[in-house]
Amino acid sequence: YQQNPKTYAIVKQLLAEGNAGELQKYFGSRMEFGTAGLRAAMGAGISHMNDLTIIQTTQGFCRYLEKNFSDLKKRGVVIGFDARAHLSSGGSSKRFARLAANTFISQGVPVYLFSDIIPTPFVPYTVTHLKLCAGIMVTASHNPKQDNGYKVYWENGAQIISPHDKGISQAIEENQEPWPQAWDDKLIDSSPLLHDPYAMVNKEYFKDIQKQCFYRNINKETNLKFVHTSVHGVGHKFVQLAFKAFDLSPPFAVPEQKDPDPDFPTVKYPNPEEGKGVLTLSFALAEKDGARIILANDPDADRLAVAEKQESGEWKVFSGNELGALLGWWIFTCWKNNSRDTRAIKDVYMLSSTVSSKILRAIALKEGFHFEETLTGFKWMGNRAKQLMDQGKAVLFAFEEAIGYMCCPAVLDKDGVSAAVITAEMASFLATRNLSLSQQLKAVYDEYGFHITKASYFICHDPKVIQQLFDNLRNFDGKNTYPKSCGRFKVSGIRDLTTGYDSSQPDQKAILPTSKSSQMITFTFANGGVATMRTSGTEPKIKYYSELCAPPGNSDVEQLKKELDELVNALEKHFFQPEKNKLQRKTE
């Protein structure tokens, strides 16, 4: 009996052709449910996102929640979706969200299902605001158009961390047979258990982010113009509303990209991290309308890229680390000058992930607040922020280099909507002092020390080669010895989060959680350099992140850049050995 005629037809066709290879790809292995939930192409078979795999995943998740919350049927869950859709398999974020809602409602669990597309941060916001047990966002963020995803939040409003992923994964395995009426999502429309949080959240969220609005009068008066693009995703309406909440004139929206379009027709990849290619239309509109600043969200509006027109007429696209430095400086300054927060500075925290710039550490040391680093990814920063907040601490800001920013304690995840409007207020304020964002960035580096970063990756499709490369680093000069130098650069410290070794700790044991399943080694160098090498959880890449942190007063930026370039070249030559290991370089 066929429930989805489109995926059924795809499989039937493959069977008729006797195409064993393709069938193996579709049915050989189930999508893995990890801490980021699911992320895969839409299509037929258990290795793809489709009606059946969504039903199975939600049945497992539902049983896991029943086991963990005795009051699940009182509190319920929230479900949101973006605008992705896949014609050939009939899959779409909205359809998947409705099927997930149907699964919970069939078990007597109240569901807060958004009636329309929303930014990803609205889901964790709703979990916290309504004190729900969990949240699901159906989105593939900035992935290619054929992909979709299923992202899961726990009752604390942060993304899940281990062991929940293992527990959910096991529950999915145990609940694969679709429950009666699993496919009939029309049943939810008449159910008293279905609620729509759309209007409430659109009011409350914009009220909450106004706590981060400190210069309303400047916002009203400013003649600074902004261009905004939502890159065919969900962001347009919400960034317009955020500007209104801050009394800023609305940004000019890139007309070709402002409406949701699952085909992303104007960009090769819908990822603002790719830099200038995604911003071509934004640059053109900004030139036409005389705007100096461009704000770009990724398709689910949880990330933000910013570009500014320089005196020379060139556009500068800020890196995630540079915007992290600016927002960190701004949010701390606003807290210090305007906050009605009576907590002492010793109760103030900022966080960033271990592969992000250490600029916040430099600001914290000089200003007297706390800085903590976490493992890579907002799931770690969100969970740590919640722990600190529960201890009465103020977590002002968290960021990661992949253009993710958490500027507002109401959302314990990255949020590109609040980040966009806070950046606009910061730029408007700086304009009254005749400063541009890039001039202020230089001022931050002058005051707290220059932090120059460089990151890239190699592609390697052979897991054995990757394993060997990292084994070689752990047995560099004989067994169980790490490198003492890298070319002319002396190594002063090593932290290996695969094995749990940290040379800087008295007992040589790392403080951050370790994971044997992924490779990650950080080298500290005598010249103030830091370099981390790690494997990617989702792609066949070995990534590296390097940074040179200079003390305040060393302002020869060109010399620092040259030094970092040399360090990176040595890292590639001696630690990656691309020729020997047949690694493929990142191509621009």
Helix axes 416-432, 320-338, angle to 10 degrees: 70
Q: Is the peptide bond before 163 cis (omega within 30 degrees of 0)?
A: yes
Per the listing, tokens 């220059």 go with: 450
Number of CB atoms found within 10 A of residue 155's CB: 18
- Tell me the C-alpha distance between 201 and 516, whole Å: 40
- H or E element, residue 428: helix 416-432
Beta strands in 25-159 (DSSP E): 38-41, 77-81, 85-86, 91-92, 111-113, 134-138, 147-153
Place of tokens 């994971």: 515
How many DSSP H helices and E strands does the chain contain? 18, 25
Catalytic residue among 93, 106, 141, 418: 141
- Burial group, residue 534, by CB count within 10 angstroms (0-12, 13-18, 19+): buried
- The two structure tokens encoding residue 19: 């195409």
The total of other beta-carbon atoms located within 10 Å of residue 66's CB is 16
Q: Which of 123, 19, 11 is nearest to 78 (CA)?
A: 123
Cα 226 from Cα 308, distance rounded (Å)? 10
Kind and range of the H or E run holding 216: helix 216-221
Q: Locate 391 and state its tokens.
A: 């201890």
Cβ-count burial 273-307 (b if 16+ within 10 Å, e if not): bbeeebbebbbebbeeeebbbbbbbbbbbbbbbbb
Helix (H, G, I), strand (E, B) or coil at 234: coil
- State how far the Cα of 460 lies from the Cα of 236, in Å rounded to an integer: 38
Q: How far is CA 57 from the centre of its chain?
A: 22
- Strand ranges, E, within 22-68: 38-41
How would you classify the pairing of strands 489-496 and 501-502?
antiparallel
Contact 549, 530 (CB under 8 A): yes
State yes or no: is 141 an active-site residue.
Answer: yes
Tell me, rounded to whole angstroms, the distance of Cα 530 from its chain centroid: 23
Which residues, at least 6 apart from 421, have a Cβ–Cβ distance to it below 8 Å?
A: 209, 213, 239, 242, 243, 245, 246, 248
Among 184, 165, 188, 182, CA closest to 54: 182
Burial class, 132, CB count within 10 angstroms (exposed 0-12 / middle 13-18 / buried 19+): buried
Interhelix angle 198-209/236-245, nearest 10 degrees: 50
Q: How far is CA 281 from the centre of its chain?
A: 24
Nearest alpha carbon to residue 357 among 550, 226, 197: 550
Residue type present at position 66? E
Max distance between CA atoms of the chain, in angstroms, equals: 73
Contact 304, 419 (CB under 8 A): yes
Residues with a catalytic annotation lie at 141
